[in-house]
Amino acid sequence: MNMQGRPTRPEEAELIAPTTFTGNRGLDMEEPLIFETGRLDATGVDIDDPEPFASRLGPHERAAPVGLPGLTEPECLRHYVRLSRKNYSIDAGLYPLGSCTMKHNPRLNEKVARLPGFADIHPLQPFSTVQGALELIETLAKTLMALTGMSAIAMSPKAGAHGELCGMMAIKAAIRARGEAATRRIVLVPDSAHGTNPATAALIGFSVRAVPADAQGIVTAAAVKAALGPDVAAIMLTNPNTCGLFEREIVEIAEIVHAAGAYFYCDGANFNAIVGKAKPGDLGVDAMHINLHKTFSTPHGGGGPGAGPVVLSERLAPFAPTPYLGRNGDALVMVEHAEGGQAFGRLSAFHGQMGMFVRALAFILSHGADGLKQASEDAVLSANYIRACLNDLMSSPYGDRPCMHEALFDDRWLKETGITTLDFAKAMIDEGYHPMTVYFPLVVHGAMLIEPTESESKASLDLFIMTLRDLALKALAGDRERFLSAPRLAPRRRLDETRAARQPILKWTKPAPG
């Protein structure tokens, strides 16, 4: 109850919100760049200069200053803590980015990844001193093979796109081994694919031929057949696909691809929907990357690091990159040079993303076979629940049929409102939500791709649904201003992206004096 004549309704409060001296708004604080507050002589690390000694740097010694300011520890903590509070995070709220699988990141995983026996070991230590680390990699490798029903695995790819590169390099090596490198130059990629698929194929000299999806949002065997020929090396197909649908004709597609002498690369970004429900190996897949940072919950970290192990069929297994696990008697070793073998070579400096392996294995062991299956079912159930609760207001491009782990809407329902998908997404920010993935897949106009994951309670899903319904009703009722000016309550309002690209400022430079 308002006892002192103070405004209590938000609209009133906003009207009289004062301009502050600091530019801060309560807990939302402005923070300068470290280059504007740090000093060249300040440091938060106490190190004494060494005793005088005869330098062996010779003529190579740095004379010029680096020009980097430092901060003491309390200043540094405050700087980065203040910055952190300008970020949305899974821990703070539902993060419905379709295709990104923003699920809960268990803290046990962070704890075990920091055990000195994992974090404080060097990739080039003698194998006799890292048997436990190799055991962990072997355990995870075998588990991933069991979950996918595939015969081999390459652990070194560092993220999803790097896994794609690994798989496509193995495919190219296999085609070379058959003596068909000169003729098989085409990779089939559906229009709805992640951009990484065509980019990967092009990186190693393939040309991309597009395959259209049908009116139901899936790639048909007939469409693949029409695109296949003796010049085709492989198809890259995402399953479940980027429209959130299981590719119903996948088995038939695999058969005709193989019959045409080509390979089947599966983009496993959406594996989270089918873990424990189906095995890619049973569907005819030759290679598939697994984003440990999606399906197995290693933290996204504001853009990585990820990890993208690639499972391989028997036909591609001989071409897997070095290094790979082997045995010398009872001892585990990494085979780092494949003498006389068909391995296509090395993909990155060391053995892969060990820190992510530990976290992913902790996640898998915690869930077990039963928990992983339940997680897939809950992810799919939650996406369908959202779809069912919104599809009377928002339009779905492929009609009212069940989806997998993500619900896809288009912008037909906004057509008469003058409000775009982007406006709608920005209004969600004012409601305290991170927007869904927007304008992807590219084949759906004004796409909104919602992936709730298995980590949300029913109460959380219900509030999200009610919020979106409320926004949708306001949009349809013509409350344009709410959307066009959004966000108004975030640390920043909409940014001038054109200016950022036209006059790129990519680092801080010292302002001219005066």
> Residues 34 to 73: which contact other proteins by CB under 8 A?
34-35, 38-45, 47-51, 53-71, 73
Task: Kindly report the backbone phi and psi dihedral angles of residue 260, in degrees, each rounded to the nearest multiple of 5, phi listed first.
Answer: -85, 5
Query: How far apart are CB 477 and other proteins at their closest, in Å?
Result: 24
List 11, 330, 481, 496, residue binding other proteins (CB under 8 A): 496
Nearer to other proteins (CB atom), residue 201 or residue 228 = 201
Nearest to 112 by CA among 369, 384, 371, 366: 366
Q: Strand, helix or coil at 68?
A: coil
Residue 146, interface with other proteins (CB under 8 A)? yes
Nearer to other proteins (CB atom), residue 5 or residue 18 = 18
Residue 258, interface with other proteins (CB under 8 A)? no
Rounded to 10 degrees, the C-alpha dihedral 362/363/369/374 comes to: 160
Query: How far apart are CB 200 and other proteins at their closest, in Å?
Result: 4
Nearer to other proteins (CB atom), residue 16 or residue 501 = 501
What CA–CA distance (Å, rounded) separates 395 from 23? 41
Nearer to other proteins (CB atom), residue 177 or residue 415 = 177
Residue 333, interface with other proteins (CB under 8 A)? no
Tell me the number of residues near other proteins by CB under 8 A: 209
Residue 351, interface with other proteins (CB under 8 A)? yes
List 141, 150, 154, 165, residue binding other proteins (CB under 8 A): 165
Q: Which of the stretches 222-230, 271-279, 411-419, 466-474 binds other proteins when contact is defined by CB under 8 A?
A: 271-279
Beta bridge partners of 264: 235
Nearer to other proteins (CB atom), residue 10 or residue 58 = 58
Instruction: Please count the CA atoms within 13 angstroms of the CA of 196 that sit on its side-chain side.
Output: 20
Q: Which of the stretches 3-11, 257-265, 270-278, 467-475 binds other proteins when contact is defined by CB under 8 A?
A: 270-278
Residue 504, interface with other proteins (CB under 8 A)? yes
Amino acid at 413: W
Q: Strand, helix or coil at 318?
A: helix
Nearer to other proteins (CB atom), residue 412 or residue 488 = 488
Query: How far apart are CB 56 and other proteins at their closest, in Å?
Result: 5
Amino acid at 8: T
Residue 151, interface with other proteins (CB under 8 A)? no
Answer yes or no: are the C-beta atoms of 463 and 424 closer than 8 Å.
Answer: no
Rounded to 10 degrees, the C-alpha dihedral 29/32/37/43 comes to: 80
Residue 105, interface with other proteins (CB under 8 A)? yes
Residue 204, interface with other proteins (CB under 8 A)? yes
Site string for other proteins, 355-384 (x = CB under 8 A): xx-x--xx-xxxxxxxxxxxx-xx-xxx-x
Nearer to other proteins (CB atom), residue 223 or residue 486 = 486
List 94, 98, 130, 186, residue binding other proteins (CB under 8 A): 130
Residue 83, interface with other proteins (CB under 8 A)? yes
CA dist 433 → 215, 246, 304, 362, 455 (Å):
31, 28, 21, 29, 15
What CA–CA distance (Å, rounded) separates 22 from 28? 11
Answer yes or no: are the C-beta atoms of 237 and 267 closer than 8 Å.
Answer: yes
Sheet containing strand 232-238, strands side by side: 152-154, 310-312, 287-289, 263-267, 232-238, 186-190, 207-211
450-489 binders of other proteins (CB under 8 A): 454-458, 460-461, 485, 487
Residue 114, interface with other proteins (CB under 8 A)? yes
Residue 416, interface with other proteins (CB under 8 A)? no
Listed in sequence order, the residues at least 6 apart from 212 whose beta carbon sits closer than 8 Å to its beta carbon are 190, 191, 219, 223
Q: Which of the stretches 2-10, 13-21, 190-198, 412-420 binds other proteins when contact is defined by CB under 8 A?
A: 190-198
What CA–CA distance (Å, rounded) separates 119 from 290? 23
Residue 318, interface with other proteins (CB under 8 A)? no
What CA–CA distance (Å, rounded) separates 183 from 179? 9
Nearer to other proteins (CB atom), residue 214 or residue 336 = 336
What CA–CA distance (Å, rounded) separates 507 from 492? 20
